[in-house]
């Protein structure tokens, strides 16, 4: 079935965002929805209850344990890997063996921030996914294990993101050939990093891609959206608990911490992918509006009933494989200059979400 494409109405002085709605979920995705709700969803709901009952430290420590068993998620065959130790965090290079070693050839790079709500996830949980995205992009990925709650506040997490970007610049990677990317919390961090480069006088990266970004620590908009009760496995309460009891200081959330509260002027081209029933759909929509208001080329892909970061299931889900291919295509277009800078337009392609 062909993709149905709809466009939001732009302000006459702003760039018109492209909103693509993939209107048919794969059979695998439809099966994954109830399975995730009855397993991962129940586990996360339990974590939210633990944190909501004044045991936030216990919730955060349990979240950090997720990365340990994820060592079984090995990268695809042919992936090269090298660990890098920066002053306050570690990272790793991932690249396909058909590419040059990024430590010797500084051509282009994907700077990736994993998801996990700033309390879980790491190199192990996301190594396989990041390696797949890197391969589809035909560039090496710098996968960052930034500091998280409860050991570091979001402001320190952002410092790590900035430092990882500085590291790539110091290695000789041209800023216009660096794409910042991430999923969930990491997707929100990718946007916040791009904004921080402007604030700190650093050159802007070449592009931004985000998978279901968590970009607003204030849950007000999400709490009034129908997807609060439709998400397959991410309870909106989890995000609210983390923000209210982990990110807030003395009960206050600084609006500047959230990417959605900034002026996006001069940001590079953006691709956002999100599921149609995700509780984070409102974050993606607000980010899209901010880009359009600032005349930033933005493409929002809304995948029919796709679970949160369904890309992780690409070994089984055809639409997850398609989403990764779209990410790779966007990254290659940014690097080769096929996507215009602010003020230009991105073409709309007719797509089929049938295991291409």
Per annotation, catalytic residue among 164, 181, 184, 219:
184
Active site includes 137?
no
Please state the rounded mean pLDDT for residues 53-61.
Answer: 61
When pLDDT is cut at 50, 70 and 90, the band that residue 56 belongs to is: low
Q: Is the pLDDT of residue 59 over 70?
A: no
pLDDT at res. 229: 87
Report the pLDDT value the prediction gives residue 172, as an integer from 0 to 100: 97
Percent of the chain with pLDDT over 70: 80
**pTM of the predicted protein model:** 0.88
Average pLDDT rounded to a whole number, residues 324-340: 92
Peptide bond into 183 cis (omega under 30): no
What is the chain's alpha carbon radius of gyration, rounded to the nearest angstrom? Answer: 19
The helix or strand, by DSSP H or E, that contains position 285, with its residue range, turns out to be helix 281-293
- The whole-number average pLDDT for the span 297-312 is 94
Model confidence at 24, in pLDDT bands (50, 70, 90)? confident
Q: Per-residue pLDDT averaged across 324-338, rounded?
A: 95
Higher pLDDT, 139 or 14: 139
- Whether 224 has a pLDDT exceeding 90, the answer reads yes
Q: What is the percent of the chain with per-residue pLDDT over 90, rounded to a whole number?
A: 66
Rounded mean pLDDT, 230-239: 87
Q: Does residue 140 register a pLDDT over 50?
A: yes
Are the beta carbons of 302 and 274 closer than 8 angstroms? Answer: yes
**Of all helices (H) and strands (E), which one includes residue 179?**
strand 178-183
Q: What is the pLDDT of residue 41?
A: 64
Q: What pLDDT sits at residue 9?
A: 36
Ordered by where they begin, the domains of the chain are: 4-335 (3.40.50.1820)
278 noted as active-site residue: yes
pLDDT of residue 52: 60
Q: Which of 225, 245, 262, 308 is catalytic?
A: 308
Question: Residue 96: pLDDT above 50?
Answer: yes
**Range name among 50-64, 67-81, 155-169, 329-343 with the lowest pLDDT average:** 50-64
Q: What is the mean pLDDT of the chain?
A: 85
Q: How many whole angstroms from its chain centre is CA 10?
A: 25
| Catalytic residue chosen out of the listed positions 278, 310, 311, 314 | 278
Res. 58: pLDDT tops 90: no
Quick check: 232 and 307 in contact, CB under 8 A? yes
pLDDT value at 176 more than 80:
yes
Q: How far is CA 133 from CA 44, 79, 181, in A?
A: 26, 12, 10
pLDDT of residue 204: 98
Residue 245's Cβ-side half-sphere holds a number of Cα atoms within 13 Å equal to 20
């Amino acid at each position: 079935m062909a993709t149905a494409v709809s466009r939001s109405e732009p302000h006459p002085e702003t760039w018109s965002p492209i909103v693509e709605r993939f209107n048919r979920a794969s059979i695998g995705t439809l099966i994954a929805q109830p399975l995730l709700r009855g397993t991962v969803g129940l586990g996360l709901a339990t974590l939210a209850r633990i944190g909501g009952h004044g045991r936030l430290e216990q919730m955060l420590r349990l979240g950090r344990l997720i990365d340990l068993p994820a060592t079984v998620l090995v990268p695809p065959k042919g992936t090269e890997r090298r660990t890098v130790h920066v002053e306050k965090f570690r990272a790793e290079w991932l690249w396909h063996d058909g590419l040059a070693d990024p430590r010797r050839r500084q051509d282009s790079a994907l700077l990736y921030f994993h998801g996990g709500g700033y309390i879980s996830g790491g190199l192990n949980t996301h190594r396989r996914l990041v390696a797949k995205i890197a391969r589809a992009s035909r560039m090496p990925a710098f996968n960052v294990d930034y500091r998280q709650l409860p050991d570091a506040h979001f402001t320190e997490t952002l410092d790590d993101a900035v430092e990882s970007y500085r590291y790539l610049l110091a290695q000789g990677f041209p800023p216009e050939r660096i794409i910042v990317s991430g999923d969930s919390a990491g997707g929100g961090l990718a946007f916040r990093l791009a904004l921080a480069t402007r604030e700190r006088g650093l050159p802007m990266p070449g592009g931004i891609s985000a998978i279901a970004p968590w970009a607003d620590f204030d849950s007000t908009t999400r709490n009034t959206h129908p997807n609060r009760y439709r998400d397959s496995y991410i309870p909106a309460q989890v995000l609210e608990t983390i923000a209210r009891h982990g990110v807030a200081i003395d009960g206050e959330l600084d609006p500047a911490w959230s990417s959605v509260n900034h002026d996006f002027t001069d940001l590079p081209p953006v691709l956002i992918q999100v599921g149609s029933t995700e509780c984070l759909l409102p974050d993606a929509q607000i980010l899209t509006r901010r880009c359009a208001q600032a005349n930033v080329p933005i493409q929002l892909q809304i995948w029919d009933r796709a679970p949160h970061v369904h890309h992780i299931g690409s070994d089984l889900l055809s639409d997850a494989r398609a989403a990764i291919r779209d990410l790779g295509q966007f990254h290659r277009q940014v690097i080769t200059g096929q996507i215009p800078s602010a003020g230009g337009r991105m073409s709309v392609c007719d797509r089929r979400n049938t295991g291409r």
